[in-house]
Amino acid sequence: MSSLTHSLLTTTIFSVLTIFLHPSNAQLSSTFYSTTCPNVSSIVSSVIQQALQSDTRIAASLTRLHFHDCFVNGCDGSLLLDQGGNITLSEKNAGPNNNSARGFNVVDNIKTSLENSCPGVVSCADILALAAEASVSLGGGPSWTVLLGRRDGLIANQSGANTSIPAPTESLANVTAKFAAVGLNITDLVALSGAHTFGRAQCRFFNQRLFNFSGTGSPDPTLNSSYLATLQQNCPQNGSGNTLNNLDPSSPDTFDNNYFQNLLNNQGLLQTDQELFSTSGSATISIVNNFANNQTAFFQAFAQSMINMGNISPLTGSQGEIRLDCKKVNGS
């Protein structure tokens, strides 16, 4: 084999590998709608601004929808499909989403607004990516250029939602493995966890820490004692599991780096939050310290990790469809 043939073959193999590992980078584009729906970003943002007037937590809720969508069948809008027609099991009814995921009405309002301006053009999957960026930015966090061109999936995967989305009671090792399964590393994990700088969590997602942690008969030792007392008051042992608590008590509706400062003070709300700092020997500790001390570093990392997450296995080209109603597959 000549050296030229060998180098061409090597280049081809490398290109194929690169495309396989990063299938979307070549296909998603920041200018995807520049001629077909040039005002897409401002339309999304204005609907969210309107929603924020009456619901301060909607920004966090919309950001979470993009995360819960991308971790199941990629960023394909499958989370938005209601049960009915060919959708026998909706992802909305999976454990991580049932009576928890919210903001679907705002997604529908965004879709209606976009259909009025650019009918049949913008996918529901792209709406979730755009809504997450607008929500973070409106909350005081970073802005980034959203890559676009995702198409909408034709199926939902409830069992995938039950197994692939990290649970708030899991070990750091398990959560790290779930991120790795979709091509995200520990920097992505720590940065994206920082989205818990705004929003709320129900008592049922962390009350195992408050009284009888891991069968010890005592609270989670990594919980700050005065914070523990507050949480026990909000979430008494036989109280409602649905009571809402601020994920970041210091600035509950602002996107900032206080989340990481809270972790340094043992004031992470979820087990999976505090584990980032309190798991002995973990590579996540130095990243938490960096983000706690340097909000700019956090914002830059968060923006990049959101782009990385938005690149998880999108449908592009002629795959899937552009849903006309985000809740159902076309023609159903």
Catalytic residue, from 6, 22, 66, 68: name it: 68
Q: What is the pLDDT of residues 117-154, one digit of tens each?
A: 999 999 999 999 999 999 999 999 999 999 999 999 99
Q: What is the pTM of this model?
A: 0.92
Domain residue spans of the chain: 39-199+247-311
At residue 6 the predicted structure's pLDDT band, cuts being 50, 70 and 90, is low
Check the annotation: does 91 bind a ligand.
yes
Measured CA to CA in angstroms, residue 177 lies from 21, 69, 74, 180, 188 at distances of: 17, 18, 16, 5, 12
> Residue 66 in contact with residue 128, Cβ under 8 Å?
yes
The pLDDT assigned to 27 comes to 86
- Answer yes or no: are the C-beta atoms of 274 and 262 closer than 8 Å: no
- What residue type is 148 in one-letter code? L
Q: Which residues contact 236 (CB under 8 A, 6 or more apart)?
A: none
Is 69 annotated to bind ligand?
yes
Which sign, positive or negative, has the C-alpha torsion 320, 321, 325, 326?
Answer: positive
CATH number of 39-199+247-311: 1.10.520.10
Residue 22 known to be catalytic: no
State yes or no: 108 annotated in a binding site: no
Q: Is 78 annotated as contributing to ligand binding?
A: yes
Specify the higher pLDDT residue, 5 or 45.
45
Given a cut of 90, whether residue 251 has pLDDT beyond it is: yes
